[in-house]
Structure 1
């Protein structure tokens, strides 16, 4: 199973939230921008590491849901989300 990282650049996010409809781990943050909450998925018991800084949100997962994350990134009209494999 691939280990992958999801990065949301806060400067590029404009709060359209198209990502939320593609992957339930994406949620609206307190700053009215997209963020990631592994526990927000009502179907899957999901675990991941999330670092939320002033400039970006970086989440790392090692599950089989990379395609959902890629769909969320592709739906972002401002290209604020990057998904990349970082190992196995």
Structure 2
């Protein structure tokens, strides 16, 4: 399975939340912007590493849900989400 990273650029996020309907790992953060919570998905048990440095949220996964993440990124009208395959 590919290893991939999802990055949310907080400056670009407007809290429109189109991503939430494409991938349940995307959730609303207390600041009103999107974030990623691997435990938020009610169907799949996800393992992911998530960091938030105040400017961006970065999550790394190695599961078969890369296309869901890409759909969430494509739905973002402000292009705040970047999904990239990464080497281990």
Q: TM-score range by the shorter chain?
A: over 0.9
Aligned to 1:18: 18
Using the alignment, how far apart are the partners of 1:39 and 1:53 within structure 2? 20
Using the alignment, how far apart are the partners of 1:54 and 1:35 within structure 2? 11
Aligned to 1:63: 63
Using the alignment, how far apart are the partners of 2:38 and 2:87 within structure 1? 19
Q: Note the aligned Cα RMSD (angstroms).
A: 0.7
Aligned to 1:49: 49
Using the alignment, how far apart are the partners of 1:53 and 1:16 within structure 2? 21
Using the alignment, how far apart are the partners of 1:31 and 1:60 within structure 2? 22
Aligned to 1:29: 29
Question: Deviation at 1:23?
Answer: 0.1
Query: Aligned with 1:44: secondary structure?
Result: coil
The count of corresponding residues between Structure 1 and Structure 2 is: 88
Structure 1 segments, 4+ long, off by >4 Å, are none
Q: Return the TM-score normalized by structure 1.
A: 0.98
Aligned to 2:86: 86
Question: Deviation at 1:53?
Answer: 1.3
Using the alignment, how far apart are the partners of 2:54 and 2:27 within structure 1? 17
